[in-house]
């Protein structure tokens, strides 16, 4: 106590009151059972209704999602009518619109759209509690599944709090210390330090951390299918996993999205308190960015298969809510284009579907087959072999010209083949600001038009928690209550540490060390470098008081 000055001591007394009124209140409210035991959120990144339509034609049968269409969702973000994945996922996960690239933190206020209500200054860059954190505090199990690196924008926003989606090493660190029960996807390189072949420059071995925490760690489909632990990470690729249609050719040891979803549900549903699971079909977006119809459609169908697994569980379980929605459209695909040789009123099913039927890999996979030998013969023969397109030298020369003018090779291939051989059109290589479809199923399913920020409240209501309370519990603004009483020590610049009243808390972890004791907290220590503010779980105050003998 000697080192603590009087003002800070008074603040500490105030904190005791806060701890005992606020810290325990959510636990009390959590005793009120919600209407729903489990929530599964499915996100096919970057698509809209047109991909669903083409996928149905391509499959030649109804999709699981067809019977679940139940509304529309506005997607704009805090500083643009057209959103990015990070801000969109933050809106879904935390219930607040935020700025471009922000993951689970409040928006900057100097770039807000004219239609946005004013944002209080202290909300800028402030971590925002998400529905996974709320569910976890209610004792539910949690899971995240994606086919991208699990540190990519969409999965990250359901577990992490970082102002820049590009800071994936930090995101991965937060993901590990967030104690999510089941994590499946790609990105193993971000677990390992560079001297073990990984990409981490902070020297941290997060795989060892996971194993020390008692997680099972698996890397192949066979290992996944044999998993028997309640806590498991499966990273099946050093970076992103393969596109669904490319898996058999390029990465046959990887599981499918539906296999990962099935195993996640099998594990999480053993929790009597229920669970929340986020499943992202990450690569529909990448197909749409490339304007590659086979990539988008086959990854969407793989996504639909994963939804089918969730729906079958919901039919048996009866206490589960499924919410499914793209985060935004990408590419703005149309059925019909300006180059089609017939009147649009004469478009046959075969005109639409047949050009896609011979495609065995994505345009990305096709560029790997073509390799660096960009002569017309090589391009034509690979288009014939892998895409079933009877292309000619004219097509190949168009592709080469587009590529020489600066387009990535797969973009050039898709643009040429779409125009010359399909009835499919595209508007952009970027995202599109239109509304996206809502699909929902099960207990208390929402129906109607929504804003993307509505769903965090819908999930919180369904589970019976209040996100504002969760925010209060997890993100105590240290600077507000203890100004001048703390330091962020950067002796090791790659691993800064917060020091407060004799306690030591590494940033982006859930660890507090004090008087030789180490405790795991139920939330992360989050630093906002732009505002130089630091946020800790209230539990930290409790442990500080405990170790002062109070």
Nearer to Zn ion by Cβ, of 98 and 124: the residue is: 98
Tell me if 280 contacts Zn ion by CB under 5 A: no
Would you give the distance in Å from CA 401 to the centre of its chain? 36
For 346, list phi and psi in degrees, rounded to 5: -115, 20
Spatial contact of 283 and 44, defined as CB atoms under 8 Å apart: no
Least separation in angstroms between residue 153's CB and Zn ion is: 7
Biggest alpha carbon–alpha carbon distance for the chain = 86
Tell me if 452 contacts Zn ion by CB under 5 A: no
Least separation in angstroms between residue 296's CB and Zn ion is: 13
For 494, list phi and psi in degrees, rounded to 5: -80, -15
Nearer to Zn ion by Cβ, of 325 and 386: the residue is: 325
- Catalogue the E-assigned strands of 257-345: 275-281, 320-324, 329-330, 334-335
Least separation in angstroms between residue 43's CB and Zn ion is: 8
- Catalogue the E-assigned strands of 21-123: 38-44, 69-74
Stretch that binds Zn ion, among 4-12, 101-109, 283-291, 349-357 (CB under 5 A): 283-291
For 448, list phi and psi in degrees, rounded to 5: 130, -165
Nearer to Zn ion by Cβ, of 75 and 469: the residue is: 75
Least separation in angstroms between residue 46's CB and Zn ion is: 5
If you write DSSP's letter for every residue of 316-336 in order, what string do you get? HHSSEEEEE--SSEETT-EES
Nearer to Zn ion by Cβ, of 220 and 239: the residue is: 239
Tell me if 327 contacts Zn ion by CB under 5 A: yes
Nearer to Zn ion by Cβ, of 8 and 91: the residue is: 91
Least separation in angstroms between residue 431's CB and Zn ion is: 7
Least separation in angstroms between residue 442's CB and Zn ion is: 24
Tell me if 46 contacts Zn ion by CB under 5 A: yes
Q: Which of 45, 168, 178, 288 lies at the binding interface for Zn ion (CB under 5 A)?
A: 45
Closest CA to 328 of 428, 431, 425, 430: 431
What percent helix, strand, coil does the chain show, rounded to 5? 40, 20, 40
Cα separation, 26 vs 32, whole angstroms? 10
Closest CA to 188 of 153, 215, 159, 148: 148
Least separation in angstroms between residue 156's CB and Zn ion is: 12
Nearer to Zn ion by Cβ, of 108 and 165: the residue is: 165
Least separation in angstroms between residue 103's CB and Zn ion is: 12
Nearer to Zn ion by Cβ, of 456 and 524: the residue is: 456
Q: Give the end-to-end CA distance of the chain in Å, rounded to a whole number.
A: 10
Cα separation, 366 vs 489, whole angstroms? 50
Size of the site for Zn ion (CB under 5 A): 5
Cα separation, 141 vs 275, whole angstroms? 4
Least separation in angstroms between residue 298's CB and Zn ion is: 18
Q: Which residues contact 382 (CB under 8 A, 6 or more apart)?
A: 366, 369, 370
For 317, list phi and psi in degrees, rounded to 5: -80, -45
The residue whose two tokens read 């139920």 is 522
Nearer to Zn ion by Cβ, of 38 and 85: the residue is: 85
Tell me if 85 contacts Zn ion by CB under 5 A: yes
Nearest-CB residue for Zn ion: 85
Nearer to Zn ion by Cβ, of 87 and 124: the residue is: 87
Stretch that binds Zn ion, among 29-37, 79-87, 370-378, 410-418 (CB under 5 A): 79-87
Look up residue 65 and give its two tokens: 């999602």
Look up residue 72 and give its two tokens: 């529309």
Spatial contact of 478 and 498, defined as CB atoms under 8 Å apart: yes
Nearer to Zn ion by Cβ, of 38 and 50: the residue is: 50
Least separation in angstroms between residue 86's CB and Zn ion is: 8
Spatial contact of 180 and 275, defined as CB atoms under 8 Å apart: no
Look up residue 541 and give its two tokens: 């105050």
Least separation in angstroms between residue 333's CB and Zn ion is: 15
Least separation in angstroms between residue 327's CB and Zn ion is: 4
Tell me if 99 contacts Zn ion by CB under 5 A: no
Angstrom distances, CA of residue 2 to CA of 5, 86, 249, 503, 548: 8, 45, 67, 14, 11
Nearer to Zn ion by Cβ, of 105 and 176: the residue is: 105
Nearer to Zn ion by Cβ, of 46 and 506: the residue is: 46
Nearer to Zn ion by Cβ, of 90 and 142: the residue is: 90
Spatial contact of 172 and 191, defined as CB atoms under 8 Å apart: yes
Least separation in angstroms between residue 334's CB and Zn ion is: 20
If you write DSSP's letter for every residue of 265-276 in order, what string do you get? HHHHTT-TT-EE
Tell me if 288 contacts Zn ion by CB under 5 A: no
Residues lying near Zn ion in the complex (CB under 5 A) are found at 45-46, 85, 285, 327
């Amino acid at each position: 106590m000697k080192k603590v000055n009087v003002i800070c001591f008074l603040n500490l007394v105030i904190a005791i009151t806060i701890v005992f009124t606020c810290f325990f209140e959510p636990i009390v409210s959590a005793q009120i059972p919600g209407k729903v035991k489990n929530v599964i959120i499915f996100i096919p990144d970057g698509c809209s209704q047109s991909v669903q339509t083409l996928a149905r034609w391509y499959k030649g049968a109804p999709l699981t999602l067809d019977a679940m269409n139940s509304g529309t969702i506005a997607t704009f973000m805090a500083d643009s009518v057209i959103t990015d994945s990070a801000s969109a996922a933050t809106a879904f996960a935390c219930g607040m619109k935020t700025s471009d690239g922000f993951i689970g933190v409040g928006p900057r206020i100097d770039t807000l759209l004219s239609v946005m209500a004013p944002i209080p200054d202290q909300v800028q860059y402030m971590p925002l509690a998400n529905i996974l954190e709320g569910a976890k505090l209610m004792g539910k199990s949690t899971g995240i599944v994606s086919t991208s690196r699990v540190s990519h924008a969409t999965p990250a926003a359901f577990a992490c709090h970082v102002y820049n989606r590009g800071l994936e090493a930090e995101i991965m660190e937060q993901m590990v210390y967030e104690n999510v029960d089941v994590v499946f996807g790609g990105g193993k390189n971000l677990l390992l330090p560079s001297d073990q072949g990984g990409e981490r420059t902070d020297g941290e071995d997060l795989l060892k951390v996971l194993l020390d925490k008692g997680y099972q760690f698996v890397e192949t489909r066979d290992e996944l299918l044999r998993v028997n632990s309640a806590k498991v990470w499966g990273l099946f690729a050093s970076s992103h996993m393969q596109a669904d249609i490319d898996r058999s050719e390029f990465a046959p040891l990887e599981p499918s999205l539906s296999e990962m979803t099935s195993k996640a549900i099998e594990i999480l549903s053993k929790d009597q308190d229920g669970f929340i699971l986020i499943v992202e079909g990450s690569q529909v977006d990448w197909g749409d960015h490339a304007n590659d119809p086979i990539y988008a459609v086959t990854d969407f169908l793989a996504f639909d298969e994963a939804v089918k697994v969730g729906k079958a569980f919901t039919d048996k379980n009866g206490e589960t809510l499924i919410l499914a929605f793209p985060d935004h459209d990408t590419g703005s695909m149309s059925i019909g284009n300006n180059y089609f040789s017939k009147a649009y009123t004469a478009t046959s099913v075969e005109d639409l579907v047949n050009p896609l039927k011979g495609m065995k890999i994505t345009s990305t996979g096709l560029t790997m087959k073509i390799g660096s030998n960009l002569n017309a013969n090589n391009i034509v023969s690979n288009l014939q072999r892998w895409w079933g397109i009877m292309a000619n030298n004219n097509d190949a020369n168009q592709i080469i010209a587009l590529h020489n003018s600066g387009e990535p090779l797969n973009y050039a291939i898709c643009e040429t083949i779409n125009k010359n051989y399909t009835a499919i059109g595209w508007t952009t290589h970027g995202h599109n600001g239109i509304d996206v479809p809502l699909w929902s199923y099960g207990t208390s399913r929402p129906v109607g038009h929504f804003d993307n920020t509505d769903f965090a409240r819908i999930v919180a209501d369904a589970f019976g928690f209040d996100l504002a309370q969760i925010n209060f519990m997890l993100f105590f603004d240290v600077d507000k209550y203890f100004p001048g009483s703390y330091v962020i020590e950067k002796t090791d610049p790659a691993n800064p540490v917060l020091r407060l009243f004799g306690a030591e808390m590494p940033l982006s972890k859930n660890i507090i060390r004090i008087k030789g004791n180490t405790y795991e907290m139920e939330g992360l220590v989050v630093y906002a470098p732009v505002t130089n503010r630091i946020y800790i779980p209230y539990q930290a105050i409790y442990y500080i008081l405990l170790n002062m003998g109070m």
